[in-house]
Structure 1
Amino acid sequence: MNELKKIRSDFQELFDQSKDEFITDFRKLVQIPSVNGNKTFEAPFGIGPKRALEYLLELSSKLGFRTGQVANCVGWAEYGPEDGDYFGVLGHSDVVDVVDDWTMSPFDLTLKDDYFYGRGVLDNKGPLLASLFALYLIKKQNISLKKRVRIMFGTDEEMGSRDIPYFLKKEKPPYAGFTPDCKFPIVYGERGIVDLTVTKSITDGSLEEIDELGGVFDRSFLPDYAFVTINDKKTDFHGKKAPSNAPDMADNVLPKLIKCCSSLNGQTGELFEWLNKKIANQYNGENLGLDFHDDDSGELQLSLYSIKIIDDEINFSLSMRYPVTFTEKTILDQLNSQFIDGMTLTINRSFPSTVKDKNLDYMHRFSKIYQDDTGLDGTPVTTTGATYAREMPNIVAFGPSFPGQKGIAHKGDEWLKYSDWQMMMQIYYDCLLDELG
């Protein structure tokens, strides 16, 4: 134990020796626009994610690790014994797309005033490399590990984790591990998520008053721009974007658009008035009777992210992240009870809640290491996010965002503090040594 304490005390010196090389490697990964694309030869999720995977495997070989991959979906760097059960760290190199809300170059790594900027620096290229470099620093000291460890590189987390089933068909899951793709401290539970679209047919001709309605809509964020043209008069709405799991941080433009349209005639006005009363400016679903909550994960979270007109129909899309002790059926039954005539519901994607035993030995040890390294409370928590922990057995989320850091991913000028990157690397270094050394 004293020897491990001495090894840990050398982390700063080890980091300083390699930091320039680490930043160079980080930049090369950020420069790959690994946005999900069309399936093509040996690239199931598009050329961008495939290029990022190839780069990570090449980098891992350069760092002296054993490497492998399954179906061009998930790759890994491995260290320690060549067989037996393994401890896993699972991150992802795919990123969400870029829109016109950047002042920095999105596909380059900018270091300015102790902050990294670039698409994926936080979600999830920076944390994934932090775990890989932490293992490299252990390897660099020729420390003999008692157990095998794999740093795994996923390629489809942002579009639904379709990569993991391919991996699990060929490879055993880890006996334990974490994904550095959420927040600190360690996360033992993830809320259920249901993303849905509600459609209402307009049969009385009242849609003719609206000439055009649109905006920048995506399920990953609450929109900061929309417009509507009513009887040849166009109105633009501007707000502030935020990730869909942080609606309280957004100035969502859709409630403004809804209010503008709620005085229209006929079925169109009736629908917008219903939206205004039941959903607009609601983040916990109270006016729908959806204000469920529990002690473990807090209250339900509702995010309205899209309104569209298609032919003679109006549809609106929203996501709900509900407390871990409730079921999707309970949520949808209550929502349906509030519908007006003619509304139909389509589920776009659905994830039940997941809860792991927060009393597992390694979770206790990692929580203490986090607390010792940062001086912050290490009590395990739950999250509104969705991570690989839902898809990969025996995995929990652990990092990278520190308490108080919200609404960074999926937006323009995505950032990661340089000092935080170093701190998470130290936390992962210490945890891997504790588990494997």
Structure 2
Amino acid sequence: MDRNDVVKAAEEYWDKNWPAIKGDIATLVEIPSTEDLDAAGPGEPYGPGPAKALAAALDIAAGMGFETTNCDGHIGFADLAGDTPTQLGIIGHMDVVPAGPGWTFPPFEVTEKDGYLIGRGTLDDKGPSVVALHAMKCLGELPMDRRYTMRFLFGANEETSMADVVYYHEHYDDPAFIFTPDADFPTCYGEKGGFDGRITSAKIDDPVILEFDGGVVTNAVPGVATALVKAHAANLPAAERLTITDEGDGLVRIDAEGVNAHAAWPERGISAIKLIVDYLLANNLCNEQERAFLEFDQKLVSHTDGSGVGIATADEYFGPLTVVGGTIHIEDGRFVQTMDSRWPTSITSDEIIDIMTKQTDAIGATFENTLLMVPFLVKPDDPEIQALQNAFHEVTGDDHQPFTIGGGTYAREFKKGASFGVNMPWIPNPDWVGGEHGPDEGVAIDLLRTSFIIYVLGLYDLQQLDLADE
């Protein structure tokens, strides 16, 4: 069969199986699969939610006729046998970030409205994973020779530490090539380095700021934050995006409403932590110890290119470094601020640590590197990258070119891979549809359909290549 026949077969499969595809997505979205290490146990290394979602995904794959394996709750896979044991892989993740505030739709069920599916995981990454799994099933039904075994990997720890793939590498060999439907189209051939840090102040004596909580996860621009301070509300001015509430007994509550955004695209967000830090400093709602920390924190959260804290840089592949201050809270009388930086090849992790530590030492704070991923790069003229790119162009007629990102996907954890869809960021969504990691996360059904056809054709084209380890 030729490529036109493949596209036609994919279209027919989608039209016939869309109710089942939507039902599979709903089954997974209904499971609140956020990490909960406090509740971890045998077979549930990341907590019961991710383990339950992983088991549900494997049940779906088994129902399609695939041979499935659950790796003690860390990760699982479904295989479609080929003529050789050499593998082409797809990997998606069944864990999600917490729902967080601001939802107008139920976060853990699928709501269909005006051609969109809304719910946590519909976009990141349960919806795309189901679509890609069905693409693998569709490929298995085509009258063609499959040179390579297909393996679909279901991760359970992508949103935090990717310990699931660490486990996988300890027990299994990598596929010859793998892609993940967990980013944007067309084809992403490189990912910036990932660097998380934790900044802890000295213990604050006689504090003015009694509470300060902001953000939900380290890897997002915080959309909400709140602080409780010693002050009189009558003496405080109003401010945009802030709500000032008299709590009585000389206390004032300050609530900030920013705009949540993924740390890979911090320019899309407005940091609620920044809003409160700016207000506290402008209105002298702090003692000298607190001021020293807040002035440093202001430099961190006010400049998403890292220039505020002296780590701004860029390279030819990835462009500029980015940084966000994702969460803040007070712990044992100390401020604890997290940071997430996506860094290009023009700086090293040691340089980031050195630059940050010198600044935190100067204010009596400590700096700890809590996550480190080196930059990942596959050349854009690689045959596998070109196969995916050609499938995208054939189905869409779009001329967007391969690119790199600041996000960290599973692709970087394998010897050769890429991230491939499902987002097409040049196509706008209605205002009521949120993005990944934000409230009212959603995805267009038409986008899922187009992605499905691209995946079927892309898998077909990958099967025609001479892979290095055949």
TM-score normalised by the chain length of structure 1:
0.92
Q: Which residue of 1 aligns with 2:237?
A: none
Q: Once the two structures are superposed, what CA deviation does each residue of 1:281-329 show, in whole Å capped at 9, x if it has no partner?
A: 2111223222201121111111012233334433322111111342112
The structural deviation recorded for 1:280 is 4.0
The structural deviation recorded for 1:87 is 0.5
Cα contact 1:216–1:225 (8 A) shared by 2: yes
Q: 325, 328, 342: which one pairs with 1:307?
A: 328
The structural deviation recorded for 1:391 is 1.9
Distance 2:200 2:3 in 1: 60
Q: Which residue of 1 aligns with 2:253?
A: 234
Matched, 1:115 2:116: yes
Q: Which residue of 1 aligns with 2:312?
A: 291
Q: CA RMSD in A?
A: 2.1
Distance 2:35 2:325 in 1: 24
Moved more, 189-198 or 414-423: 189-198
User: Unmatched 5+ residue regions in structure 2?
Assistant: 231-250, 429-433, 465-470
Q: 416, 419, 427: which one pairs with 2:443?
A: 416
Cα contact 1:187–1:396 (8 A) shared by 2: yes
Distance 2:427 2:368 in 1: 33
Cα contact 2:42–2:72 (8 A) shared by 1: no
When residues 53 and 208 of structure 1 are mapped into structure 2, their CA distance, relative to the original with a 3 A threshold, is closer
Q: Which residue of 1 aligns with 2:454?
A: 427
Q: Which residue of 2 aligns with 1:160?
A: 161
Q: Which residue of 1 aligns with 2:42?
A: 41
When residues 275 and 9 of structure 1 are mapped into structure 2, their CA distance, relative to the original with a 3 A threshold, is same
Distance 1:380 1:124 in 2: 21
Distance 1:6 1:333 in 2: 57
SS in 1 for 2:2: helix
Distance 1:211 1:6 in 2: 66
The structural deviation recorded for 1:433 is 1.0
Matched, 1:64 2:65: yes
When residues 325 and 373 of structure 1 are mapped into structure 2, their CA distance, relative to the original with a 3 A threshold, is farther
Cα contact 2:43–2:74 (8 A) shared by 1: no
Matched, 1:179 2:180: yes
The structural deviation recorded for 1:228 is 2.4
Q: Once the two structures are superposed, what CA deviation does each residue of 1:185-214 show, in whole Å capped at 9, x if it has no partner?
A: 2111111121112222156x3x43223323
Q: Which residue of 1 aligns with 2:357?
A: 336
Q: Which residue of 1 aligns with 2:381?
A: 359
Q: Which residue of 2 aligns with 1:223?
A: 222
Moved more, 217-226 or 187-196: 217-226
Q: Which residue of 1 aligns with 2:13?
A: 14
Q: What letter corresponds to residue 408 of structure 2 in structure 1?
A: A
The structural deviation recorded for 1:61 is 2.1
* Aligned residues between the structures: 433
Q: Which residue of 2 aligns with 1:76?
A: 77
Cα contact 1:225–1:237 (8 A) shared by 2: yes
SS in 2 for 1:129: helix
The structural deviation recorded for 1:115 is 0.6
Distance 1:307 1:24 in 2: 38
Q: Which residue of 1 aligns with 2:24?
A: 25
Cα contact 1:179–1:397 (8 A) shared by 2: yes
Match runs of 1:262-273 below 5 Å:
262=281, 263=284, 264-273=286-295
Q: 267, 270, 279: which one pairs with 1:248?
A: 267
User: Unmatched 5+ residue regions in structure 1?
Assistant: none
TM-score normalised by the chain length of structure 2:
0.86
Moved more, 423-432 or 162-171: 162-171
SS in 2 for 1:226: strand
Distance 2:333 2:135 in 1: 56
Q: What letter corresponds to residue 399 of structure 2 in structure 1?
A: D
The structural deviation recorded for 1:142 is 4.1
Distance 2:171 2:59 in 1: 22
Identity across aligned pairs (percent)?
27
Distance 1:341 1:61 in 2: 56
Q: Which residue of 2 aligns with 1:85?
A: 86
Moved more, 61-70 or 246-255: 61-70
SS in 2 for 1:367: helix
SS in 2 for 1:60: helix
Matched, 1:327 2:348: yes
